[in-house]
Amino acid sequence: MIPHTHTRRFGEGPRQALAIHCSLAHSGAWRGVGEALYDSATLLAYDLPMHGRSGGWNGEGNIHDIATDMARALLSAPMDLIGHSFGATVALRLAIENPELVRSVTMIEPVYFAAVLEDEPDRVQKYYEYTARFDKALAAGDPMEATRMFNRGWGDGTKWDLIPQATRDYMAERIHFVPASTPFLGEDSAGLLKPGMFERASMPALLLEGDASPDMSYAINKSLERRLPDARRERIAGAGHMAPLTHPREVAQAIRGLFEVS
């Protein structure tokens, strides 16, 4: 069952786009990109389950399936998809499973580890060794410390102590969303890596990454670029993983470039 889905809109442009935010954020994260694309696109952004004002999750079912079903229910063909991190993996999945509903797809550092596990398993193993402190904190029942460790690798570079307490609390309350995502992100529970699946996503695709982002972001984008029929990769100077928040105009400029060919 799809939980209540809270949405908001940014911009008044002719292109109809669905924007999907990253883990531990909410739909408001797209405000900067939406304002920069104001005259080009109308962004429909939704809150992931247990994020923002959308409904919660009782722990039953695959959380990626639920997040994808929420997005699928909002699609009206044809739409441009714009996703960031976890949200970019939802966009990827929709592009493969429902290509008839997708005009173009922009993925900003999708955390689809399963592709690299297939291509470069040793590289992912080294990454998992790096995340051991995150796993240890969760196992010890310390969600705030786990959130601090997660933010160190995937945040915008702001020192933990400078992040407002309300924001830290918000993220820590939802940190179990991260390990709950593993069946899809790490194990490909939807079977996207099966032969012939990626070929379905024949629409123009843009893979964005920051030049100060984690090495794993580059590895994932390289794996996806190799598989997608019509993909281009671009780097944003000075940006890290949270480019939609820190470099919204640069992200929007890259998306405008994709719009010109789709």
- Tell me what pLDDT residue 129 has: 80
DSSP 8-class letter at 161? G
Task: Name the pLDDT band for 143 (thresholds 50, 70, 90).
Answer: very high
Task: Choose among 18, 8, 14, 16: nearest CA to 73.
Answer: 18
How far apart, in whole angstroms, are the C-alpha atoms of residue 27 and residue 172?
18
With pLDDT > 90 as the criterion, what percentage of the chain qualifies? Answer: 93
Amino acid 125: pLDDT: 82
H helices within 120-231, ranges in order? 121-130, 132-139, 143-154, 165-173, 177-180, 182-185, 215-227
Question: What is the per-residue pLDDT across 25-77, written as a single tens digit (0 to 9) for each?
Answer: 999 999 999 999 999 999 999 999 999 999 999 999 999 999 999 999 999 88
**Whether 5 contacts 73, CB under 8 Å:** yes
Would you list the DSSP string of 71-104? HHTT--SSEEEEEETHHHHHHHHHHHH-GGGEEE
The domains of the chain are located at 7-119+181-259
Tokens linked to 195: 């032969």
Higher pLDDT, 199 or 124: 199
Question: Tell me: the pLDDT tens digits for 192-210?
Answer: 999 999 999 999 999 999 9
CATH number (3.40.250.10, 3.40.50.2300, 3.40.190.80, 3.40.50.1820) of 7-119+181-259 reads 3.40.50.1820
Enter the tokens of residue 67: 């997040």
Write down the mean pLDDT value for the chain: 96
Neighbours of 131 (CB within 10 A): 15
Gap between the Cα atoms of 176 and 105, Å rounded? 28
Q: For position 255, what pLDDT does the model report?
A: 98
Task: With both helix axes pointing from N to C terminus, report the angle between 132-139 and 121-130 in degrees, rounded to the nearest 10.
Answer: 50
